Amino acid sequence: MTTHAKPDLRPANPRFSSGPCTKRPGWSLEALQDAAIGRSHRAKIGKNKLAQAIEETRELLRVPADYRIGIVPASDTGAVEMAMWSLLGERGCDVVAWESFGSGWVTDAVKQLKLSDVRKFEAGYGEIVDFSKVHFDRDVVFTWNGTTSGVKMPNGDMIPADRAGLTICDATSAAFAQDLPWDKLDVVTFSWQKVMGGEAAHGMLILSPRAVERLESYTPSWPLPKIFRMTKGGKLIEGIFKGETINTPSMLCVEDYLDALAWGKSLGGLDALKARADANLKAVADYVEANAFVDFLARDEAIRSNTSVCLSFTDAEVSALSADDQAAFAKGVTKLLEEEGVALDVGSYRDAPPGLRIWCGATVETADVEALMPWIGWAFETQKAKLKTA
């Protein structure tokens, strides 16, 4: 019996990738026409644009005035590793992970930096670590929004304001969509490619005064490549945090980020951006609630992401398939969605349980999410019918 007929309506924009994420509504290459291309990034025009990107980030994300904001190489990964390599080792470290990207930072701390005093705390996909066991008098490395499981920090309540250690937070798929409690965070990183739909070349590195104090008072025992170095002669290189980047940035990417920031501002700022992601999540949640074949990977609403929304198929027949067959089933569903031109790049991450991951960040239009959802039922049912004939 067909319960999910083929819908008539298609999303106007089928781009639901979790990174690079879709551009803001109305974006075109014309948005980049004022880019300072073919000019030195150290010329006034380039430096002004880089400084503008920093100050508009501060305004939109409500970053405290005494926090430094730098534009650094190698996207979010570059920013996180620059912080880890520059700050860790002064005291014990707790590394926390509940999905692939967090696990990457565990590997960095344990196997690459080989920290002598490191504890790891891990939870499976869809769950979160019990933070009551984490000691904030040690340095703590964690991801605010786990992009591959769709699990986010519920808030920063478990982080003491008077901690002795530093908190290093990968917030790349949270920034501009979720509240970040600045007083609880010493290092925050993100890339332009996520909630704002920018490009992936550069990372943003935000440092609290305590993180700067650490940089100026502690020298790691391992060598630091030039692109990680933030101090000279024991003092912070302040220029990095005013737009004097360590190496050459792409002024085209900078222009694109400025365009995204201007769009965010024109909507009404952070609250409006968060509201767009929340509305997108709600469109998914309404569908999930009405359909038993699918559920959120993050069952607990308090930790459910409003950006990287991960779904799994909970239908009894599909759940009874072997792990390989479940993965093949989910792939079949995403292939159908792609072939119909209704959803691109919505397969779950390669290490995550099979299912769908629908980006719901601010650049995605709620009408498109609403239009997509019935297609998921149709694709699911179409794929399930193939099981019977196989």
Ligand X SMILES: Cc1ncc(COP(=O)(O)O)c(C=O)c1O
273-312: which residues touch ligand X (CB under 6 A)?
none
| Short-list 46, 50, 35, 42, CA closest to 242 | 50
Region binding ligand X by CB under 6 A among candidate stretches 1-9, 72-80, 224-232, 260-268: 72-80
Distance CA 358, CA 15 (A): 9
- Output 146 or 374, the one with its CB closest to ligand X: 146
Q: Is 195 within 8 Å of 307 (Cβ atoms)?
A: yes
Of the two residues 147 and 280, which places its CB atom closer to ligand X in the complex? 147
Closer by beta carbon to ligand X, 98 or else 329:
98
By CB under 6 A, residue 73 contacts ligand X? no
Residues, the chain: 390
Is the previous residue joined to 11 through a cis bond, with omega within 30 degrees of 0? no
What is the distance between the alpha carbons of residues 305 and 177, in angstroms, rounded to a whole number? 9
Query: Is residue 103 part of the contact set for ligand X (CB under 6 A)?
Result: no
Of residues 14, 19, 70, 347, which one binds ligand X by CB under 6 A?
19
Phi/psi of residue 202, nearest 5 degrees: -120, 155
Subset of residues 161 to 220 that bind ligand X, contact rule: CB under 6 A: 170, 172-173, 191, 193, 200
Residue 108 C-beta: closest distance to ligand X, Å: 11
Given 75, 306, 363, 383, the residue binding ligand X (CB under 6 A):
75
Determine the Cα–Cα distance for residues 291 and 27; give it in Å rounded to an integer.
34
Q: State which of residues 22, 57, 103, 147 lies at the interface with ligand X (CB under 6 A).
A: 147
The per-residue DSSP string of 221-271 comes to SS---GGG--EETTEE-GGGGGT--SS---HHHHHHHHHHHHHHHHHTSHH
Give min distance, CB of 102 to ligand X, in A. Answer: 7
Q: Counting contacts by CB under 6 A, is residue 256 touching ligand X?
A: no
What's the closest the beta carbon of residue 277 comes to ligand X, in angstroms? 15
Q: What is the DSSP letter of 344?
A: B
Which residues of the chain form contacts with ligand X (CB under 6 A)?
19, 75-77, 101, 143, 147, 170, 172-173, 191, 193, 200
